[in-house]
Amino acid sequence: MNDFFELVVGATASGCIYGLVALSYLLITRPTGIINFAVGEWAMMAAFAGVVMLNDWNWPYPVGMAIMVVMMFALGWLTERLTVRPLVEKGAPPLAPILSLLGMLVVFRESISIGFGPDPQPVPAAFGFGRLELGWLAGSYQSFFTIALTLTVFAAAWFFFERTLHGKSFEAVAIDRRAAAWMGIHLGRVTAISFAMGAVVAGVAGVLAAPNVSAHYLMGMPLAIQGFTALVIGGVGRVEGALLGGLILAFVEQMTVRYAPVPPGLAMGVPLLLLILFLLVRPKGLLTAREGRT
């Protein structure tokens, strides 16, 4: 039974990371309709920022985290400015930004591979590699920290969308771009901020995931795939959907690895099957968007 509860904590922590990546997709795709496969590479780049600041330079964790957030905000902003905005302004087909972002994905990954080499690099955990027991629930410090930080991020995202005027303007753009523009909402700014915030959230996911998997230039693609699986499960309509999808994915994944009588390699296929299943049966996800209020 203890073993089971330990699994619950571990799965919740991985689910939180998937949920953050899904949130990163969602922040971008909601107002713009763009699926940005490079979110995994953003997470990877943030993990390498963690390697440099937290491991090589030994800066305190909160300082490193704060600088990482600023850097990712700038990176997301620049990515939108340089590779998405010109296409939108030209009236290019909706596929064009997705293709240029795929190009950036390769650029990001290869730049890191040149800069840091192909070997995995360590990223320290927030509170070291200790173990915490809360009654029956037991897990590493990092697991609990991941869960707490993810809940904070999601609470902030929820507050932003539900309680602030800026958040409402995002929602308005998501519901109807043209109408939103007529209401005086600056579409360019909304898009830029959605990319910048998406990059920050992806960066947080990367730094949280890195202590367990080590920073590696190829770590982005698996995260990107798990993230959008979580997004498809939860649905692109609601912020909570991303977290719910991430948790479902992680639990299915870990329960199969632990309890199902299949080799661990095949268990890696389970999330993919789950993704295909959801795409076929319920492509809109579990939580659907609220109807526009009249």
Q: Which residues bind other proteins (CB under 8 A)?
A: 35, 83, 86-87, 92, 94-96, 98-100, 102-107, 109-111, 113-114, 221, 225, 228-229, 232, 263, 265-266, 268-269, 272-273, 275-276, 279-280, 283
Least distance CB 249 / other proteins (angstroms): 12
Q: Which residues pair with 121 in a beta bridge?
A: 215
Q: Which residues pair with 70 in a beta bridge?
A: none
Cβ neighbours of residue 250 under 8 Å, at least 6 residues apart? Answer: 11, 12, 14, 15, 18
| SS3 of 168-186 | HHHHHHHHCHHHHHHCCCC
DSSP annotation of 139 reads E
DSSP annotation of 93 reads -
The CA distance from 242 to 251, in Å, is 14
For residue 141, the SS3 value is helix
Residue nearer to other proteins on the CB measure, 112 or 201: 112
Least distance CB 20 / other proteins (angstroms): 19
Residue nearer to other proteins on the CB measure, 117 or 292: 117
Least distance CB 239 / other proteins (angstroms): 20
The CA distance from 208 to 128, in Å, is 12
Least distance CB 281 / other proteins (angstroms): 10
Least distance CB 33 / other proteins (angstroms): 8
C-alpha angle with apex 256: 250 to 258, nearest 5 degrees? 100
Residue nearer to other proteins on the CB measure, 146 or 191: 191
Q: How are the residues of the chain apportioned to helix, strand and coil, as percentages rounded to the nearest 5?
A: 75, 5, 20
Residue nearer to other proteins on the CB measure, 187 or 221: 221
Torsion of CA 274, 280, 285, 288, to 10 degrees: -170
Residue nearer to other proteins on the CB measure, 64 or 234: 234
Least distance CB 91 / other proteins (angstroms): 11
Residue nearer to other proteins on the CB measure, 183 or 266: 266
Least distance CB 274 / other proteins (angstroms): 9
The CA distance from 48 to 275, in Å, is 29
Residue nearer to other proteins on the CB measure, 113 or 152: 113
Residue nearer to other proteins on the CB measure, 26 or 54: 26
Least distance CB 67 / other proteins (angstroms): 25
The CA distance from 17 to 151, in Å, is 11
